[in-house]
Amino acid sequence: MSVQQPTPAQIADLASKIGYSDIAAAPEEYTAMIAGMVGVYDALEAIPEPGPLPTREPVHSVRPSAAEDPHHAWEVRTSIHGADSGLLAGVRLGVKDSILVAGVPMRNGSKELETFVPNEDATVVTRALAAGAEIVGKTTNEYFCMSGGSHTAASGVVHNPHRMGYSSGGSSSGSAVALVTGDADMTLGADQAGSIRMPASWSGVVGLKPTYGLVPYTGIAALDGYFDHVGPMTRTVLDNARFLTAIAGPDGIDPRQRNVVVDDYLTEIDSGVEGMRIGVLTEGFGTEHAEAEVDQTVRDAVAALRAQGAIVEEVSVPLHSLGPAIWTAIAIEGMAETVLRNQGFGFGRPDAYPVDMMQHVLDHRGAAEAHPANVRLFTLVGAYVDQQAGRLHYARAVNRAQVLRAAYDDALARFDVLVTPTTPQTARPLPDPKHGAGAAVGAAIEMSANTTPFNITHHPALSVPCGRVGGLPVGLQLIGKHFDEATLYRVGRAIEQR
């Protein structure tokens, strides 16, 4: 697209806002130089797009009715058949609606992308189809994936599959619900603060946030390149390991993928836990918003591992309690920069940029009035912090995340896995809009204390159902060494089979 030639008045106004008072007073010389420079954007049109991602013509899709989809798990239903054979042959796959599927509408929970249809597939979609899966729809997610609840999607709330009127967790809300209702066999989720693990916990399914970079993020709407993850959601640990096997490994595009180690996730999965060292992370229990019965249910599940021959001990990582603060400092600037200033994608990376999605966001900037309370809050605080200190706090937080990472590494040098409750409580009622912005924001973040730290330290984390409290599922979170998902699956399988 061309950039219009500037006028002296436009350059004078811009210079004044930046602080170039001399140019503002006499803008003509700079206007002429800028007019020459913007011609490079016309030259770009002569060069074809590289087209690294597979494309597809528009595919028939339908928005299910409330009667067909009472929990609102789905944005659209469709059918795209994969290979005739493979590791995922016959699997009905739901894809989170922040992930590009060529020819199928994708709104990423927002008003801005309400009419957007991508023309490329994400790498994980390509791999799932090559492994024999059938894509059966796009699952509902939170507005720009910026909530841990299930109440902010522009298309409406998502209900917990075990109790209507309660949250399913987010932001991969529909991806969890569709598994419980039986409408999908496996689903894809994306996780920046716990968005796979939190809905897995509250809805009662298995969800893995892989080691950072193990699964390529290519072709997925970003929040911040420092903590973007994509991973599998399933009903069983065995299925989760099977799904990861199909989608893990470098794709030659995603710049997050450095020194990736792909393991065998299936051979040892039923080997049991005898002799394994399980560290119960002290600071993961009794957290803010914690329910004592949830903490006890997780401890009971861990005690059962001791009965199977595991060595179970308490381990303290004091910095764990500060992990959410470090994450928030990164997220405030990172999410505001990516989602709100940069048209839904990051910059400065040798990545595959979804130009059509970015254009669509640019064309629909006027939809900001539709933003839910949590998106408005991040927008305002991001702008305020930027005004006060630029990017300094983002930089300081990323540096301190390395200290947190080292603290977990030290504990994991003594234990095979660490354990916390995934969420400190069971599913909460969906917030009542009449209770205002504060209640809506609280319902978006109150469940994330144990999940956010591992997005910024990049350790793999697996949520496994371990019981119920008051009829609602409880999730147990296993944290492992980088690229040691195989060990998480061994322990998760033992918990599942107890």
pLDDT, position 1:
56
pLDDT, position 377:
87
Residues 181-199 pLDDT 10s:
999 999 999 999 999 999 9
Q: Is residue 145 part of a domain?
A: yes
Q: Is residue 53 part of a domain?
A: no
pLDDT, position 353:
87
Mean pLDDT of 57-73: 97
pLDDT, position 22:
93
Residues 370, 155: contact at Cβ < 8 Å?
Answer: no
Q: In whole angstroms, what separates CA 37 from the centre of its chain? A: 38
What secondary structure letter does DSSP report for 495?
H
Q: Are residues 21 and 92 in the same domain?
A: no
pLDDT, mean over the chain: 94
Mean pLDDT of 398-404: 96
Kindly indicate the confidence band of residue 232, based on its pLDDT and cuts at 50, 70 and 90. very high
Of the candidates 223, 419, 224, which has an alpha carbon nearest to the alpha carbon of residue 320? 419
Q: Is residue 286 part of a domain?
A: yes
Of the candidates 176, 160, 162, 170, which has an alpha carbon nearest to the alpha carbon of residue 233? 176
Residues 454-475 pLDDT 10s:
999 999 999 999 999 999 999 9
Residues 80, 95: contact at Cβ < 8 Å?
Answer: no
Beta strands in 128-223 (DSSP E): 134-139, 159-160, 163-167, 186-191, 206-209
Q: Are residues 18 and 104 in the same domain?
A: no
pLDDT, position 18:
86
Range with the poorest average pLDDT among 293-302, 360-369, 420-429: 360-369
pLDDT, position 38:
80
Q: Are residues 167 and 20 in the same domain?
A: no
Spatial distance between the Cα atoms of 402 and 397, rounded to a whole number of angstroms:
9
What secondary structure letter does DSSP report for 63?
P
pLDDT, position 40:
80
pLDDT, position 274:
98
Kindly indicate the confidence band of residue 122, based on its pLDDT and cuts at 50, 70 and 90. very high
Kindly indicate the confidence band of residue 362, based on its pLDDT and cuts at 50, 70 and 90. confident
Of the candidates 40, 495, 489, 494, which has an alpha carbon nearest to the alpha carbon of residue 239? 489
Kindly indicate the confidence band of residue 281, based on its pLDDT and cuts at 50, 70 and 90. very high
Residues 254-273 pLDDT 10s:
999 999 999 999 999 999 99
* Res. 250: pLDDT tops 80: yes
Mean pLDDT of 362-387: 85
pLDDT, position 114:
95
Spatial distance between the Cα atoms of 358 and 376, rounded to a whole number of angstroms:
20
Spatial distance between the Cα atoms of 333 and 391, rounded to a whole number of angstroms:
7
Residues 192, 98: contact at Cβ < 8 Å?
Answer: no
* Res. 58: pLDDT tops 90: yes
Query: Given the structure tokens 């927008």, which residue do they identify?
Result: 379
Q: Are residues 27 and 139 in the same domain?
A: no
Q: Is residue 426 part of a domain?
A: yes
Residue 62 host element (H or E)? strand 61-62
| More confidently predicted of 34 and 93 | 93
For residue 233, what are the domain limits?
61-497
Q: In whole angstroms, what separates CA 98 from the centre of its chain? A: 9
Range with the poorest average pLDDT among 27-31, 169-173, 200-204: 27-31
Q: Are residues 285 and 357 in the same domain?
A: yes
Burial of 414 (0-12, 13-18, 19+ CB in 10 A): exposed
Burial of 412 (0-12, 13-18, 19+ CB in 10 A): buried
* Res. 341: pLDDT tops 90: no
Residues 339, 244: contact at Cβ < 8 Å?
Answer: no
Q: Are residues 16 and 161 in the same domain?
A: no
Residues 229, 210: contact at Cβ < 8 Å?
Answer: yes
Q: Are residues 207 and 336 in the same domain?
A: yes
Residue 496 host element (H or E)? helix 485-497
Spatial distance between the Cα atoms of 498 and 489, rounded to a whole number of angstroms:
14
Encoded tokens for 231: 């991973």
Mean pLDDT of 306-331: 96
Handedness of CA 164, 167, 169, 170 (dihedral sign): positive
Kindly indicate the confidence band of residue 46, based on its pLDDT and cuts at 50, 70 and 90. confident
What secondary structure letter does DSSP report for 186?
E
Burial of 288 (0-12, 13-18, 19+ CB in 10 A): exposed
Q: Are residues 104 and 248 in the same domain?
A: yes
Residues 485, 355: contact at Cβ < 8 Å?
Answer: no
Kindly indicate the confidence band of residue 354, based on its pLDDT and cuts at 50, 70 and 90. confident
Q: Is residue 3 part of a domain?
A: no
Total of domains in the chain: 2
Range with the poorest average pLDDT among 233-247, 324-338, 430-444: 324-338
What are 69-72's contacts with CB under 8 Å, separation 24+? 70/159, 70/164, 71/158, 71/159, 71/160, 71/161, 71/164, 71/168, 71/177, 71/181, 72/140, 72/153, 72/155, 72/156, 72/157, 72/158, 72/159, 72/174
CATH code of 238's domain: 3.90.1300.10
DSSP 418-447: EEEESSSSSPPBPPPGGGHHHHHHHHHHTT
Q: Which residues pair with 138 in a beta bridge?
A: 76, 95
Mean pLDDT of 222-234: 95
Q: Is residue 358 part of a domain?
A: yes
Mean pLDDT of 233-239: 98
Instruction: Supply the residues annotated as catalytic.
Output: 96, 171, 195
Q: Are residues 32 and 77 in the same domain?
A: no
Q: Are residues 75 and 16 in the same domain?
A: no
Q: Are residues 29 and 125 in the same domain?
A: no
Residues 386-398 pLDDT 10s:
878 888 889 999 9
Q: Is residue 179 part of a domain?
A: yes
Q: Are residues 144 and 27 in the same domain?
A: no
Q: In whole angstroms, what separates CA 14 from the centre of its chain? A: 37
% residues pLDDT > 90 (the chain): 79
pLDDT, position 249:
98
Encoded tokens for 467: 């019981």
Q: Is residue 462 part of a domain?
A: yes
pLDDT, position 26:
93
